[in-house]
Amino acid sequence: MYNSLVALASMGGLGIVLSVGLVIAAKMFAVESDERTEQIETALPGVNCGACGYAGCRSLAEAIASGKAPVNGCPVGGLAVAQKIAEIMGTITEAPARKVAQVLCKGGCEEAKQRAEYDGPKNCRVMNIIQGGDKACTYGCLGGGTCVEACPFDAMYMNENGLPVVIEEKCTGCGKCVEACPRNIIILVGEEYGVHIRCRSHAPGKEVRQVCQVGCIACRRCEKECPVNAITVADNLAEIDYDKCTVCRRCVAVCPMHTIEAQEGKPEIPAKIAG
Amino acid sequence: MEYLLLFVATVLVNNFVLVQFLGICPFLGVSKQVSTSVGMGIATTFVMVMAALASWLIQHFILIPLGLQYLQTLSFILVIAALVQLVEMFLHKSIPGLYRAMGIFLPLITTNCAVLGLALNAMLRNYNLGESLVYGFGAGVGFTLALILIAGIREEIQFADIPKPLKGQAIALIIAGLLSLAFSGFAGMI
């Protein structure tokens, strides 16, 4: 009986001493933090993808709480998250511009010429270092699927043709695939734009024809056809200026290589023509 | 000399992770990158030295005088948990950069059985205060060494063509086994 009482008293005493010590320490080492930071952090998606440009959700929460970042700074969470944060901060907001990833290469196993058998690791960065992979085109997709692996939202997959496909409903525009691609063929584009020149080859037209059935040969037909001068051909490659593009699809019709592609469900943006 | 011997014995011959199989959770969990494993190792070493000190004091000033040695486990866990909390608060206030870099690892050390094992082992072997501290430091260094070794290997095999069923944790466990086998070579050295 006596023993158990001593045990109880000593352990209880130890616990109380430690907890009092911790309370004092907590007061001494108290760090003043904005309580809104915590609230904002819980409202954010919490995947720490870095699409906002900050190191993680915590950093963005701190930046928003201190007014350094806008309340709609999280492109992943979209309007729902922006509104929640706006409520915490006591302001109103509009939806952040949503961007989705676009793969600018159409040269899969069928269209692009293969120049060698590749039997190494299925990783684009490795393939890029080892003689630039197995395809003859040195600008296009390597087909290793590193972008798919990098996607934290399962918004990409490799199709049977060996090309990555973006599932736009799932894509949050975090840019992880853009970083992962050693060939820089993935870009982030505002989701409303539905016309893309899916080639990044700066090789002369003749060379492109030799290695790929769907590459840009820089024939300039799209440049001439575009009513708003959104397309320019420079260094053997047509490029689209999305700020000017009205998604009229005229370039798609004239492209002889079918490099320019129109996506369904993205209508023309007529407002821009007037402006 | 005695202390040096004890130190080497703790780091290599009786390595906490690879020979005594303590602290396997952080060993597998925080060993994907060398940089984070170094941070974890340093934090754990610090806590281990502090735990060796605190547990020695508790043992010799509370438990033994009162004849309560059977409450070792309970009281040591209590002290270690409080200690980690204290370290966390201190870091948060004075070195916020380090606090952020360590992140979730710090509170995780509370549940690292290597720290408790160290405290219990030191009492089992009747170490004096100096020996306890050296033992704690050696255990921490040994833990860090094991963590860096496996992290280095895991970084190297990232691009290796590992068969699918063995990817991830499976290959990590195999590496851990091989490392442990290698460390068994130190047995009987001291």
Residue B190 has pLDDT above 60, yes or no: yes
Same domain for A211 and A255, yes or no, is yes
Q: What is d(CA A59, CA A71) in angstroms, rounded to the nearest whole number? A: 13
Q: Is the Cβ pair B89, A26 closer than 8 Å? A: yes
Same domain for A185 and A198, yes or no, is no
Chain A and chain B share a number of CB contacts under 8 A equal to 52
| CA A137 to chain CA centroid, nearest Å | 25
Helix locations, chain A, DSSP H:
2-28, 35-43, 57-65, 78-89, 124-129, 146-150, 176-180, 205-211, 221-225, 250-254, 271-274
Q: Is the Cβ pair A25, B89 closer than 8 Å? A: yes
Q: Structural domain boundaries of chain B?
A: 31-147
Q: What is d(CA A250, CA A194) in angstroms, rounded to the nearest whole number? A: 12
Shortest Cα–Cα distance, A22 to chain B (Å) = 7
pLDDT the model gives residue A274: 47
Same domain for A264 and A234, yes or no, is yes
Q: Determine contact: B170 vs chain A, CB below 8 A.
A: no
**Chain A residue closest in CA terms to B68:** A7
In tens, the pLDDT along B24-38 reads 888 887 777 888 788
Q: Determine contact: B95 vs chain A, CB below 8 A.
A: no
For residue A27 the two structure tokens come to 């007061």
Which SS3 state, helix, strand or coil, does residue B85 take? helix
Q: CATH no. for residue A237?
A: 3.30.70.20
Q: Determine contact: B68 vs chain A, CB below 8 A.
A: yes
Residue A261 resides in a domain: yes
Q: What is d(CA A177, CA A124) in angstroms, rounded to the nearest whole number? A: 11
Residue A242 resides in a domain: yes
Q: Is the Cβ pair B94, A30 closer than 8 Å? A: no
Same domain for A105 and A187, yes or no, is yes
Closest residue to B93, CB basis, from A7, A15, A31: A31
Same domain for A183 and A212, yes or no, is no
Closest residue to A6, CB basis, from B68, B79, B159: B68
Shortest Cα–Cα distance, A185 to chain B (Å) = 22
Chain B residues with CB inside 8 Å of A31's CB? Answer: 92-93, 96
Q: Is the Cβ pair B78, A18 closer than 8 Å? A: yes
Beta pairing class for A186-190 and A99-103 = antiparallel
Return the higher-pLDDT residue of B109 and B53.
B53
Same domain for A165 and A228, yes or no, is no
The residue among A141, A169, A191 that closes a domain is: A191
Residue B101 has pLDDT above 70, yes or no: no
pLDDT the model gives residue A275: 45
Residue A238 resides in a domain: yes
Query: What residue ranges in chain B does DSSP mark as E strands?
Result: none
Closest residue to A7, CB basis, from B58, B68, B161: B68
The residue among A150, A166, A191 that closes a domain is: A191
Report percent pLDDT > 90 for chain B.
Answer: 26
Same domain for A201 and A187, yes or no, is no
pLDDT the model gives residue A42: 86
Least confident of A88-102, A230-244, B112-126, B168-182: A88-102
Q: Is the Cβ pair A10, B66 closer than 8 Å? A: yes
Residue A61 resides in a domain: yes
Q: Whole domain around residue A123: which residue ranges?
A: 98-191
Same domain for A175 and A220, yes or no, is no
Same domain for A182 and A220, yes or no, is no
Same domain for A203 and A270, yes or no, is yes
**Chain B residue closest in CA terms to A24:** B86
The residue among A24, A57, A89 that closes a domain is: A89
For residue A171 the two structure tokens come to 């894509």
Shortest Cα–Cα distance, B88 to chain A (Å) = 10
Residue A138 resides in a domain: yes
Q: Which residues, in sequence order, are bridge partners of residue A197? A: A260
Same domain for A225 and A186, yes or no, is no
**Average pLDDT, stretch B53-69?**
88
Same domain for A164 and A245, yes or no, is no
Residue A7 resides in a domain: no
pLDDT the model gives residue B40: 82
Chain B residues with CB inside 8 Å of A121's CB? Answer: 159-161
Q: Is the Cβ pair A18, B79 closer than 8 Å? A: yes
pLDDT the model gives residue B187: 85
Q: What's the mean per-residue pLDDT of chain B?
A: 86
| Cβ proximity of B48 and B137 under 8 Å | yes
Number of domains in chain A: 3
Chain B residues with CB inside 8 Å of A29's CB? Answer: 89-90, 92-94
Tens-of-pLDDT digits for all 275 residues of chain A? 788 888 888 889 989 999 998 899 888 887 766 778 888 888 888 877 777 878 788 888 888 888 888 888 887 877 788 888 888 888 777 767 788 999 999 988 888 988 888 888 888 998 998 888 888 898 999 999 999 999 988 999 999 999 999 999 888 888 889 999 999 999 999 888 989 999 999 999 899 999 999 999 999 999 999 988 899 998 999 999 998 888 888 999 999 999 999 988 888 887 665 44
Instruction: Give pairs for A221-227: CB < 8 Å, separation 24+.
Output: A221/A251, A221/A254, A221/A255, A221/A256, A222/A197, A222/A251, A222/A254, A222/A255, A222/A260, A225/A250, A225/A251, A225/A253, A225/A254, A226/A250, A226/A251, A227/A273
pLDDT the model gives residue A268: 84
Confidence grade of residue B102 (pLDDT, cut at 50, 70, 90): low
